[in-house]
Amino acid sequence: MVEDLFNKITELAKRRGFFWPSYEIYGGIAGFYDLGPLGAYLKKNIVELWRKHFVLEHQDYVVEIETPIVGPKIVYQASGHLEKFTDPIVECMKCGRKFRADHLIEEKLGINVEGLSPEELTKIIKENNLTCPVCGGPLSEVKTFNLLFKTQIGPYEGNLGFIRPELAQGMFVAFKRTLEVMRNKLPLGIAQIGKVGRNEISPRQGMIRLREFTIAEMEYFFDPEDEENSCPDYNKVKFDEIKVITCNDKRKGGSPQILSLDEAVQKGIIVHKCLAYWMGVAQRFVEALGIPKSSIMFEEKCPEERAHYSSQTFDQLVKVSRWGWVEVSGHSYRGSYDLSRHEKFSGEELEVFKPFKEPKIVKRKKILVNKAVIGRMFKEKASEIISKIQNLDPDEIEKFISLNKDIIIDNLKIPKEAIKIIEVEEKVTGKKFLPHVVEPSFGIERLIYVVLEYSYKEKDGRVIMSIPRYLAPIKVAVFPLNESEKRLVEKAREIFDILKREFEVMYDDRGSIGRRYARADEIGIPAAVTVDYETLEDNTVTIRDRDTWKQVRVREKDLVDVLKKFIYKNLPLEDIVR
RNA sequence: GCGGCGGUCGUCUAGCCUGGACUAGGACGCCGGCCUGCCAAGCCGGAGGUCCCGGGUUCAAAUCCCGGCCGCCGCACCA
């Protein structure tokens, strides 16, 4: 650590109001941070930029929804979080190390203890006198630890609720209706921005690892068999280059490679082009936050590192001064896992019907049951038996018949003449299937931190936050050149009032003009408008560029227009006034 | 959760080892006044501190001891 940027950012953030630890007056609670006035604006701007890249640019097939933070138990049973997110843990009473109880038993005794309760695991450990594998000390009772925050819905204690650990389940649960509202068209991206909670064991690293944080995420639903239309804008990003390290490379100690997204898809490094597409969009978004491409990389997670729902995951990493590469987004191929689970747990059919361009004629074998024969033979049991026969596999039955074997149902012999296999032609107008899902998911607080870190500059012992202009929490500062000159102050306040309606603006007339520029630079205000004596004569003001310190003089009536071009179009001041 | 280091005005810190003269000092910031014709200028005045919290030792604790909380680092953990 040459210069500790993390400390500098943390100190600045507290002092000027970007962020600080929550519940400070009570000593703070690890893993929770407040956003201050500047942080709240910065977050809003980052979220808005995300929305622009992921939602607005894809408005024809991406929508945004909002779902609750608290969900009932069954949702997290379906999602697998309750089961997979809970670990049975034993602690060594001597050295304090913690172990997975099930792993420990399986390793030492070679028996499978999957699905046993903590009490049963404790019993096994006691009976076999298992001790700490590191120091040999005695082991505690088995406890479970689950990263889900638990709560209670309503006054009934049994009615458990959980705080969502990701946004995804909200979109999956609301998928059916959202699709209906969007007139049943695929592909469909359902985006959401919101808070999630994860009860981390020991959160640290400031804004990087929190117990409660904001995610901007999209579940992108598509037809895995429709290669052509699954990803309509793929061509726009396919030549974008990414730096990527695969799981294999990691295992072999290899290094990242640079290649285009399309090459990565062709070579099978990225399993699906839809996954690749949103990785491309994600990288462009991070670049727009002011992160140079050289500080961005994708890392494939190895199977043991992946979440239970994912068949391939890439993390997008950004290099930060203190911890090296830090994950800012996750890109998972979730397949149809989640929808199939919710189908099972809710009993709702979540399949999508997709009509073929032309109906297909399909030949199909069908079981024909002679109901008269069955009815006469089995009387009141007949209808049950008929439905059971019809649920059998026609090919199987055909085999039985050709082999002259008996068909037995519920211990009853079905006469062969009652069953006939015929081939029918059916008109199929479309297919039903569970869409597949790719998921880009961003942690917004981490983005706030990396934006600040990459904006941090020092010049002549002063701090300048070169936050990209369109992201800056406050866009314009307005100063009278001299606070003791009433006419200047009045004029400056007048201009402040006009600019207020268009931008986030700060008015400041305390101290010398240089000090005010410095204060503005430190919180990343890109433009400073100064009212001077010339203003009083000809209604012109100067605009100073935070980064170059150059000034241009513009007419007051052009001010809003010039500032808009400077801030939102990112043009140099000299070019705008020319 | 274990181990290491740390926690003092808004911020950064001095003091802690060696307990008492500490009414806890400084710098920057902040507020008020003067000054100020473009990059943290100067002068004057002011506000601001549960010395992280609790307990103990002592005549006496910011200072020593114990416990807790919080922060960072390492281990473990982190779908």
| CATH classification at residue A161 | 3.30.930.10
**Residue A541 contacts residue A529 (beta carbons within 8 Å):** yes
Residue A485 is part of a domain; what is its CATH number? 3.40.50.800
**Residue A203 contacts residue A31 (beta carbons within 8 Å):** yes
**Residue A522 contacts residue A508 (beta carbons within 8 Å):** no
Into how many domains does chain A fold?
Answer: 3
> Is there a single domain that holds both residue A333 and residue A365?
no
Closest C-alpha to A190, from A205, A207, A176? A176
Q: Residue A320 is encoded by which pair of tokens?
A: 């930060």
> Is there a single domain that holds both residue A408 and residue A528?
no
Residues 56-75 of A with CB under 7 A from strand B: none
Which of A400, A431, A462 is the last residue before a domain boundary? Answer: A431
Q: How confident is the model at residue A134 (pLDDT cuts 50, 70, 90)?
A: low
| pLDDT for A556 | 95
| pLDDT for A87 | 67
Q: Is residue A463 part of a domain?
A: no
Q: Is residue A123 part of a domain?
A: no
Residue range A497-507: average pLDDT?
95
Q: Does residue A11 reach within 7 angstroms of strand B, measured from its CB?
A: yes
Q: Is A284 helix (H, G, I), strand (E, B) or coil?
A: helix
**Residue A217 contacts residue A51 (beta carbons within 8 Å):** no
Q: Is residue A323 part of a domain?
A: yes
Residue range A299-308: average pLDDT?
86
A558 CA vs B35 C1’ separation (Å): 34
The percent helix, strand, coil of chain A (3-state, each to 5) is: 40, 30, 30
Q: Is residue A104 part of a domain?
A: no
Q: How confident is the model at residue A425 (pLDDT cuts 50, 70, 90)?
A: confident
Q: For A351-400, what is each residue's pLDDT tens digit? A: 888 888 777 777 777 777 777 777 777 777 777 777 777 777 777 777 77
Using only the alpha carbons of chain A, give its radius of gyration. 32
Q: Which of A104-118, A361-375, A486-500 has the highest mean pLDDT?
A: A486-500
> Is there a single domain that holds both residue A64 and residue A160?
yes
Share of chain A above pLDDT 90, in %: 55
Residue A390 is part of a domain; what is its CATH number? 3.30.720
CA distance A201 to A65: 31
Residues 129-188 of A with CB under 7 A from strand B: 147, 165-166
CA distance A133 to A344: 40
> Is there a single domain that holds both residue A173 and residue A42?
yes
| pLDDT for A84 | 73
Which burial class, exposed, middle or buried, applies to A379 when counting CB atoms under 10 A from its CB (0-12, 13-18, 19+)? exposed
Nucleotides on strand B lying under 7 Å from protein C-beta: 1-3, 7, 10-12, 29-32, 34-41, 50, 52-53, 68-79
> Is there a single domain that holds both residue A177 and residue A48?
yes
Q: Is residue A299 part of a domain?
A: yes
CA distance A249 to A257: 9
Share of chain A above pLDDT 70, in %: 95
Q: Does residue A17 reach within 7 angstroms of strand B, measured from its CB?
A: no
Q: Residue A229 is encoded by which pair of tokens?
A: 């239309």
Please give the nucleotide, over all strands, whose C1' is closest to the CA of residue A81: B79
**Residue A237 contacts residue A281 (beta carbons within 8 Å):** yes
How many CA atoms does the CB half-sphere of A167 hold within 13 Å?
25
| pLDDT for A113 | 67
> Is there a single domain that holds both residue A174 and residue A67?
yes
Q: Which of A232-236, A396-400, A431-435 has the highest mean pLDDT?
A: A232-236
Q: Is residue A467 part of a domain?
A: no
| pLDDT for A272 | 94
Sign of CA dihedral A330, A333, A339, A344: negative
| pLDDT for A94 | 65
| pLDDT for A258 | 95
How many C-beta atoms surround the C-beta of residue A508 within 10 A?
20
Cis peptide before A187 (omega within 30 of 0): yes
CA distance A444 to A212: 11
Lowest mean pLDDT among A300-309, A433-442, A514-523: A300-309
| pLDDT for A115 | 60
Q: Is A158 helix (H, G, I), strand (E, B) or coil?
A: coil
Nucleotide B52, nearest residue via CA and C1': A27
CA distance A87 to A118: 10
Residues 290-309 of A with CB under 7 A from strand B: 305-309
Please give the nucleotide, over all strands, whose C1' is closest to the CA of residue A313: B79
Q: Is residue A369 part of a domain?
A: yes
Q: Does residue A375 reach within 7 angstroms of strand B, measured from its CB?
A: no
CA distance A466 to A443: 22
A479 CA vs B11 C1’ separation (Å): 25
Residues 384-443 of A with CB under 7 A from strand B: none
Q: What residues contact A384, with CB distance under 8 A and at least 6 apart?
A: none
Q: What is the pairing mode between strands A324-335 and A62-64? A: unpaired
> Is there a single domain that holds both residue A284 and residue A393?
no
| The 3-state secondary structure of A440-489, one letter per residue | EEEEHHHHHHHHHHHHEEEECCEEEECCCHHHCCCCEEEEECCCCCHHHH
> Is there a single domain that holds both residue A411 and residue A333?
no
A530 bridge partner residues: A479, A542
**Alpha-carbon separation of residue A444 from A43, A49, A58, A321 (angstroms):** 7, 11, 20, 18
CA distance A518 to A521: 5
> Is there a single domain that holds both residue A335 and residue A383?
no
**Crossing angle between the packed helical segments A273-288 and A37-54, to the nearest 10 degrees:** 140
Q: Does residue A520 reach within 7 angstroms of strand B, measured from its CB?
A: no
> Is there a single domain that holds both residue A221 and residue A268?
yes
Q: How confident is the model at residue A54 (pLDDT cuts 50, 70, 90)?
A: very high
A322 CA vs B46 C1’ separation (Å): 40
> Is there a single domain that holds both residue A376 and residue A324?
no
A270 CA vs B62 C1’ separation (Å): 59
Lowest mean pLDDT among A11-25, A287-301, A382-396: A382-396
| pLDDT at residue A429 tops 60 | yes
Q: Which of the pair, A43 or A97, is modelled with greater confidence?
A: A43
CA distance A440 to A330: 6
Residues 536-575 of A with CB under 7 A from strand B: 542, 544, 549-551
Alpha-helix runs per DSSP H in A319-469: 337-346, 371-378, 382-390, 394-402, 444-455
Q: Which of the pair, A255 or A140, is modelled with greater confidence?
A: A255
**Alpha-carbon separation of residue A290 from A40, A314, A521, A555 (angstroms):** 19, 21, 17, 31
Report how far Cα A260 is from the mean position of its chain's Cα atoms: 23
Lowest mean pLDDT among A46-50, A90-94, A406-410: A90-94
Lowest mean pLDDT among A246-260, A311-325, A423-437: A423-437
Q: Structural domain of residue A570, as residue ranges?
A: 474-576
In angstroms, how far is the first alpha carbon of chain A from the final one? 45
DSSP string across A92-110: BTTT--EEEHHHHHHHHH-
| pLDDT for A380 | 74
Q: Which of A36-40, A117-121, A427-431 has the highest mean pLDDT?
A: A36-40
> Is there a single domain that holds both residue A79 and residue A156?
yes
A16 CA vs B8 C1’ separation (Å): 21
Q: Is A542 helix (H, G, I), strand (E, B) or coil?
A: strand
Q: Which of A189-193, A338-342, A372-376, A419-423 has the highest mean pLDDT?
A: A189-193
Q: Is residue A451 part of a domain?
A: no
Which of A404, A431, A458 is the last residue before a domain boundary? Answer: A431
| pLDDT at residue A3 tops 60 | no
Q: How confident is the model at residue A2 (pLDDT cuts 50, 70, 90)?
A: very low
- Tell me what the pLDDT averaged over chain A comes to: 87
Sign of CA dihedral A133, A135, A137, A139: negative
Amino acid identity of A31? Answer: G
Q: How many residues does chain A have?
A: 578
